[in-house]
C-alpha cells in the first residue's frame, strides 16, 4: 500500500496514546480509521496507518526531519506518525486537511515527491483581528486554549499594541470563536480612539500559530 501523506503528531499536548487521540480528533471531523480504512461517515476516502517515531522519521524528507528535530516552543516532541491517502475521494480533503493540521501541530509531508509543509510557525496577523469574534481565523489559527499559550498570545498582542502607539486591555473570552479580543476602549495618550479599526489598520502581531493557509495549497493536497 502506498500512502501519499505522512503527518508528524506533536505529543507535548497529549495525555494518552497519540494514536487514540488522533482517532478521537478525526472523529470530531466525521472521519474513522477502523481496519486501516479512512472513511468520512460511511464513505471510503482512502487508507491509513500509524507509524512509530523512528520509522516515521525515516519517511520524511531531510528538511522536514530538521523541523521535527527542532520544533520550536509550541509544537513539541513527536509522539508518532500518521500516514494516509485520500485517493478514493479527493473531495474529502476539504474536510480532512483542516483536521490533520490541528492534529499534527508539526509537519506534514508527501512521500512521493519530498514536499512538506510546516503546520506550526510564526505567523503575522493584523491587529484588527482583536476587534471581533472572527479574528485569528475565527480562533482556529490559535494552537490551543491552554492558559500558558493564551497568556503568550496576550503578551505578544499587548506588546504589538503598545509598539503601535496605543494602550488597551486585551481580554480572553470563552466559546468556540476567537478568544483574544480588545476588552474595552483603545486609547492613545489617555484619549479614547473613536475608530479602533482605522487606528489599528496596518499594524500587526507575529505569534506561533497554525498556518491555515496550507489548506488552500490544492496542488500539495492532490493525491
Give the mean model confidence (pLDDT) for residues 37-46.
97
How far apart are the C-alpha atoms of 142 and 145, rounded to whole Å?
8
State the pLDDT at residue 76: 82
Reduced to 3 DSSP states, what percent helix, strand and coil does the chain have, rounded to the nearest 5? 40, 25, 35
> Quick check: 165 pLDDT over 60?
yes
Q: What is the pLDDT of residues 190-200, one digit of tens each?
A: 999 999 999 99
State the pLDDT at residue 142: 96
Could you give the angle at the alpha carbon of 52 between the alpha carbons of 49 and 53, nearest 5°?
A: 135
DSSP track, 115-158: -EEESEEEEEEEGGGGGSTTHHHHTTTSS---HHHHHHHHHHHH
Q: What is the pLDDT of residues 108-163, one digit of tens each?
A: 999 999 999 999 999 999 999 999 999 999 999 999 899 999 999 999 999 999 99
pTM: 0.89
> Quick check: 60 pLDDT over 80?
yes
State the pLDDT at residue 13: 58
Strand 116-118 to strand 107-110: parallel, antiparallel, or no bridges (unpaired)? antiparallel
Q: What is the pLDDT of residues 145-158, one digit of tens each?
A: 999 999 999 999 99
Q: How confident is the model at residue 14 (pLDDT cuts 50, 70, 90)?
A: low
How far apart are the C-alpha atoms of 65 and 117, rounded to whole Å?
12
Which positions ≥6 away from 21 have C-beta within 8 Å?
A: 14
> Quick check: 15 pLDDT over 70?
no
State the pLDDT at residue 12: 60
Q: How confident is the model at residue 71 (pLDDT cuts 50, 70, 90)?
A: confident
Under 8 Å between Cβ of 47 and 36 = yes
For residue 118 the three cell numbers come to: 510546516
State the pLDDT at residue 16: 57
Query: What percent of the chain stands above pLDDT 70?
Result: 98
Amino acid at each position: 500500500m502506498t500512502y501519499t501523506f505522512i503527518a508528524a503528531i506533536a505529543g507535548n499536548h497529549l495525555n494518552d496514546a497519540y494514536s487514540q487521540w488522533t482517532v478521537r480528533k478525526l472523529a470530531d471531523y466525521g472521519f474513522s480509521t477502523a481496519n486501516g480504512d479512512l472513511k468520512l461517515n460511511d464513505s471510503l476516502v482512502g487508507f491509513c496507518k500509524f507509524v512509530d517515531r523512528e520509522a516515521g522519521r525515516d519517511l520524511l524528507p531531510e528538511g522536514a526531519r530538521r523541523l521535527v528535530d527542532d520544533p520550536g516552543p509550541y509544537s513539541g516532541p513527536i509522539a508518532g506518525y500518521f500516514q494516509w491517502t485520500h485517493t478514493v475521494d479527493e473531495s474529502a480533503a476539504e474536510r480532512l486537511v483542516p483536521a490533520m493540521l490541528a492534529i499534527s501541530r508539526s509537519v506534514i509531508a508527501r512521500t512521493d515527491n519530498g514536499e512538506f509543509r510546516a503546520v506550526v510557525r510564526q505567523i503575522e496577523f493584523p491587529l484588527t483581528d482583536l476587534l471581533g469574534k472572527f479574528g485569528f481565523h475565527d480562533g482556529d489559527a490559535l494552537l490551543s486554549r491552554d492558559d500558558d499559550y493564551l497568556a503568550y498570545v496576550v503578551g505578544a498582542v499587548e506588546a504589538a499594541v503598545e509598539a503601535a502607539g496605543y494602550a488597551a486591555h486585551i481580554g480572553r473570552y470563552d466559546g468556540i470563536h476567537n478568544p483574544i479580543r480588545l476588552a474595552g476602549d483603545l486609547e492613545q495618550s489617555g484619549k479614547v480612539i473613536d475608530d479602533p479599526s482605522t487606528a489599528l489598520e496596518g499594524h500587526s502581531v507575529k505569534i506561533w500559530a497554525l498556518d491555515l493557509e496550507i489548506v488552500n495549497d490544492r496542488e500539495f493536497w492532490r493525491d
